[in-house]
């Protein structure tokens, strides 16, 4: 007579030959599945945590301030190349708080060709005062220490207090009749032009 174990006795038998399924014991399958779930979750936890921190990091959000911003329209600029000062309105992140559509700075825009615009930062490279445009002299002047710059932003005095020329903003795009600028600020007091934010 054939010897049948108690676990085999619970397996369904084939109707024609009486053979029983050789499936693994259910308890072992459960532990294997649970271990796979735990290991999978552990493998995903690291990358997810890193991604979350990167997404919430205020420094990352501040960098987004460097994206292109609509500043003015072409018809707002004099055809003779006279510069005009415009505020830059964009979102600003302060630590963990996002402020929508607030002034984040100003730029001088100047039409240098019919469809080409030059943008200069209004911030003096010496100590950060705001540069003004002197319409009578047709140049830029810093009111703090009297540094002068020509319309292209180059220093015009031999003993200028400014360690470099005015900072140009290279990210300028003409989209139809609109002027878009990538607004950036630069470190002051040094000869090199180094992006600050
Ligand atoms: S801050 Fe402009 S010359 Fe000193």
Structure-token pair, residue 174: 């003409």
CA of 8 to the centre of ligand 1 (A): 92
Length of the chain: 197
Give the Å distance between the CA of 169 and the centre of ligand 1.
19
Q: What percent of the chain has pLDDT over 70?
A: 66
Can you say whether the dihedral through the CA atoms of 138, 125, 70, 90 is positive or negative?
negative
pTM: 0.68
pLDDT at residue 190 tops 90: yes
Q: Is the pLDDT of residue 183 over 80?
A: yes
Of all residues in the chain, what percent carry a pLDDT higher than 90? 61
Q: Is the pLDDT of residue 6 over 50?
A: no
Residue 15 Cα, ligand 1 centroid: separation in angstroms?
Answer: 98
pLDDT score recorded for residue 32: 60
Element (H, E) at 50: helix 26-56
- Please give the DSSP secondary-structure letter assigned to residue 64: G
> Residue 34: its pLDDT value, please?
58
| Segment 55-114, tens digit of pLDDT | 444 444 444 456 899 999 999 999 999 999 999 999 888 878 899 999 999 999 999 998
Ligand 1 pocket list (CB less than 6 A): 124, 126-127, 129, 142, 144-145, 147, 161-162
Q: Atom 3, ligand 1: which residue's CA is nearest?
A: 145
> Is 90 buried (19+), middle (13-18) or exposed (0-12) by CB count in 10 A?
buried
Q: How far is the CA of 186 from the centre of ligand 1 (A)?
A: 14
Mean pLDDT, rounded, of the chain? 80
Is the pLDDT score of 150 beyond 70? yes
135 CB contacts (<8 Å, ≥6 apart)? Answer: 82
Distance 159 CA to ligand 1 centre (A): 12
- From 131, 132, 162, 165, give the residue whose CB has the most ligand 1 atoms within 8 Å, as the site to mutate: 162
Select the more confidently predicted residue: 105 or 4. Answer: 105
Mean pLDDT, range 23-50, rounded to an integer:
53
Is 197 in contact with 184 (CB distance < 8 Å)?
yes
Nearest CA to ligand 1 atom 1: 127
């Amino acid at each position: 007579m054939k010897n049948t174990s108690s676990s085999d006795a619970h397996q369904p038998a084939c109707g024609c030959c009486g053979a029983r399924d050789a499936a693994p014991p259910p308890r072992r399958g459960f532990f294997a599945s649970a271990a796979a779930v735990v290991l999978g979750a552990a493998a995903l936890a690291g990358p997810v945590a890193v991604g979350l921190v990167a997404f919430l990091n205020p420094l990352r959000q501040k960098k987004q301030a460097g994206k292109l911003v609509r500043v003015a329209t072409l018809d707002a600029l004099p055809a003779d190349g006279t510069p005009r000062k415009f505020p830059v309105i964009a979102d600003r992140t302060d630590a963990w708080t996002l402020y929508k559509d607030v002034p984040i700075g100003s730029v001088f825009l100047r039409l240098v060709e019919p469809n080409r615009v030059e943008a200069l930062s209004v911030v003096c490279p010496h100590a950060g005062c705001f540069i003004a445009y002197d319409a009578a002299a047709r140049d830029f002047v810093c009111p703090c220490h009297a540094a002068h710059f020509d319309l292209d932003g180059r220093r015009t005095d031999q003993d200028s207090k400014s360690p470099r020329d005015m900072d140009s903003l290279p990210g300028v795009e003409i989209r139809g009749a609109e002027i878009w600028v990538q607004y950036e600020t630069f470190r002051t007091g040094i000869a090199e032009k180094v992006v600050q934010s």
